[in-house]
Structure 1
Amino acid sequence: MTPVDLGRRALGAVLLAAGWPRAATSQPAGAGARVGIVLMHGIGGSAAAMASLADRLRQPGWSVANLDMPWSQAGAFAQPVEAAERQVLAALDKLRREGAERLVLAGFSLGGLFAAHMAGRARVDGLVAIAPNGGSDMKKLDDQLARARELIAQGRGNERTTLDDADVVSPARWPIQGTVPAAYVTWYDPQGTMNWGGIWSRLRPGTPVLLVVPTRDLANLRERKQQLWQGLPPHPGNRLYEPRTDHLGAPRASAEEAVEWIRDVVAAPAAR
């Protein structure tokens, strides 16, 4: 079983069972700007898998919207990219209406990549990309895309079916049961919205980024580390953090760094 396959099947259980340590002290509520954070899980995970990280981000008094996204195991990529965009924009708007003065997009793995995509579309005050991965250009699924497009041409584009997902570092595949062809194409077209290079090129200038790349992460992310880091729009608040862990350990290993970075770069009065 590949690391990504393991993450797909057991991410929620691994993170929830980890028993994350709590910081002994936390920033008092009201210190600095009021921060709102939209948090997104990895592929095959759920909001429950990010609950411990969400709790840690709430300790300084920040508001956190911990979302269940269409790439969860239950979601099965049955909703198109546009639906996920609307979901995130609605969460940002709700945080703003509830009093957030500064907004952060954060996510792990595919959630980190989608957070970067949305940081190119929405005006936010910070991006936390934890082990971002899963770009459509990283996966060899031409036959599955051809099948999805065939079903669309037959007028069956909105019917539930089974199509494959693929590992980003090996030939391994696994079925996505209950996906929808029309939605599937929006996620897996290598030249589409979820193309890794395209997402990075669309990052909004002026948005600071915390990029987390664990020392034992998947090979494709380690190989692209410098390209991703150097490809960020210039900002004095940009930070590259490399915790000594693997892909699945990234959220837990970067929790304290994320809190410190948001406090120093986003929430601080001098951040504007």
Structure 2
Amino acid sequence: MRLDELHAWICVDDVKLSEFALEYSADGKEVSCWIPSQCDKKFSVHWETTDSSPQQTFNARVTVDGTRCGNNDMRCRDRAHPHIASGSRDSVATSAETRRPLLFARQALTDDDNLLNAAISPELGSIKVDIREVRTAPSMRSHRQPPVWGGRFETQVLHERSKKAMGHSVQFGTEYRARNRQSEPIVIVRDLATFVFRYRPIELLRAQGIAPPIVRPQTAGSSSDREVVDLTKDDDDEAAASEIKKLEARLRELKKKGDKVKVKSKSSGVKQEESVFAPGEVIDLT
């Protein structure tokens, strides 16, 4: 999705997911769409601005199902394209040296009635990217607190009769080792844009008319594969008339042979049918 010079998208297996039913807010600062989630597939969130400068710092905050996954600065990294800054997120930090990947997975359900009326985030089923222009806050460096690693990165279990149960949810994969640095304290200069990706299984999106249906290949022998002869054209009329003449000539020839056979049969005393071809009879000459 795009908002002016800002762009955000989601990838699975390094392939950008299709986006359906885009909607823009009245103030032009928020855009939303639907994307097809893929069960047990890791995904990554990407963002980019094409109107940056070395003096600016843009920051993107990712939230999945209402859980914040941290901030990530966008900086100009390519000297050949000094106005482009980008960033991405495919995991969350759980400690100074560990992370867990983001992935789509089957929604965890239970029949425990204690969870029937449990509070559910209104952002369940969505991935949100907030892009802001920020600056560092030097005065806060001396008062920096040790980072608090690990959030509530656990799968939310829903009651099986919950209206929010929609097939998939964002979950956090197996923890792996990775060095994480503490981010600098920042001050938000201005909010720029919000991108909201609402995800569902592709089958559900098709059933609801959000995604287009599957275009199935036509089977052999279907009516569309059969050759249709249009006899309204002059050339086809002439060809049909010529074919009729040939058939009539062949019919006359066969009738003559039939008459000769009858004459010969009478002379030999062999009884034959009085007529070989009845008037109006269709002859199969194949």
Whichever structure has more helix as a proportion of its residues is 1
Q: TM-score, normalised by structure 1?
A: 0.24
Larger-Rg structure: 2
Q: TM-score, normalised by structure 2?
A: 0.23
Whichever structure has more strand as a proportion of its residues is 2
